[in-house]
């Protein structure tokens, strides 16, 4: 379990190269500045930004192979986990789905600022995004599990990795799903919060 900001930095450094860390370091003050203009994340969470946002995002890399294909991040908001992963690993094809105009503009600005050519922003509701096969699907605070799966199932394939950080409600949300879904997913404990869960699965919903 990550217990300090320095430990969180080291955790992230083990999952990207020096250039990736430099991008994350440069991104943090931009996040703080933008957060003063629009409420991207809770102000208190910025006191532990490496733990609460960077390491919390990059821990998902431990659950997928490098050649998994397109990473589809739903409800990207401030950019977690998708934008943080794109900054750390810009070689990975990434699609950030976000419908709120000001957050779309924020995501697009960061992608342009850092030259993230493999990261595209789909500025619309997920229902209006063209269907494409996703190698990885992630969502942090996007929707309750049942609704999330209903909306995103058309992007999944038999090899899709589902990585769904669900905070403290993960096991409860999973228990409320049909048996087929319950058997498909398992619960991983978050490396950044002893009470938080990540719902992990591989396959087509």
pLDDT at 67 > cutoff 90: no
pTM: 0.95
Please list the alpha-helical segments (H only) found in 36-134. 49, 56-58, 82-88, 101-113
In terms of C-beta density within 10 A (0-12 exposed, 13-18 middle, 19 or more buried), how is residue 154 classed? Answer: middle
Q: What is the pLDDT of residue 168?
A: 81
Residue 171 is predicted with a pLDDT of 86
Q: Do strands 119-122 and 161-167 pair parallel, antiparallel, or not at all (unpaired)? A: unpaired
Q: How far is CA 3 from the centre of its chain?
A: 21
Does residue 70 sit in helix, strand or coil? coil
Is 90 exceeded by the pLDDT of residue 65?
A: no
* Cα–Cα dist 174/187, whole Å: 9
Average pLDDT, the chain: 95
**Band of pLDDT at residue 38, cut at 50, 70 and 90:** very high
Q: What is the pLDDT of residue 169?
A: 82
Give the CATH number for residue 25.
3.40.50.150
Domain count, the chain: 1
Pairing of strands 186-189, 71-74: unpaired
pLDDT band at 66 (very low <50, low <70, confident <90, very high): confident
For residue 193, the enclosing domain spans 5-202
Percentage of the residues of the chain whose pLDDT score is greater than 90: 91
Residues 4, 50: Cα–Cα separation, whole Å: 9
Q: Within the chain, what is the greatest distance between any pair of CA atoms? A: 45
Segment 78-101 mean pLDDT? 97
| Per-residue model confidence as pLDDT tens digits over 113-129 | 999 999 999 999 999 99
Cβ–Cβ < 8 Å for 79, 147:
no
Residue 165 makes CB contacts below 8 A (sequence gap 6+) with 56, 60, 81, 138, 139, 140, 190, 196, 197, 198
Condensed to tens digits (0 to 9), the pLDDT of residues 15-33 reads 999 999 999 999 999 999 9
Give 162-179 pLDDT, tens digit per residue.
Answer: 999 988 888 889 999 999
């Amino acid at each position: 379990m990550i217990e300090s900001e320095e430990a969180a930095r080291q955790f992230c450094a083990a999952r990207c190269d020096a250039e990736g860390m430099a991008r994350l370091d440069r991104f943090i003050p931009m996040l703080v500045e933008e957060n003063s203009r629009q409420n991207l994340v809770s102000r208190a969470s910025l006191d532990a930004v490496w733990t609460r946002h960077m390491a919390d995002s990059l821990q998902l890399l431990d659950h997928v192979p490098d050649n998994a294909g397109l990473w589809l991040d739903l409800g990207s908001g401030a950019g977690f986990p998708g934008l943080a992963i794109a900054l750390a690993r810009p070689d990975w094809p990434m699609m950030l789905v976000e419908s709120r105009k000001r957050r779309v503009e924020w995501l697009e600005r960061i992608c342009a600022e850092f030259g993230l050519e493999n990261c595209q922003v789909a500025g619309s509701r997920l229902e209006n995004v063209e269907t494409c096969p996703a190698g990885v699907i992630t969502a942090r605070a996007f929707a309750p599990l049942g609704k999330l799966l209903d909306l995103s199932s058309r992007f999944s394939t038999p090899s899709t990795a589902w990585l769904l950080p669900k905070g403290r409600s993960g096991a409860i949300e999973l228990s409320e799903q049909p048996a087929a879904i319950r058997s498909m997913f398992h619960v991983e404990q978050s490396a950044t919060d002893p009470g938080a869960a990540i719902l992990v699965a591989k396959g087509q919903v």
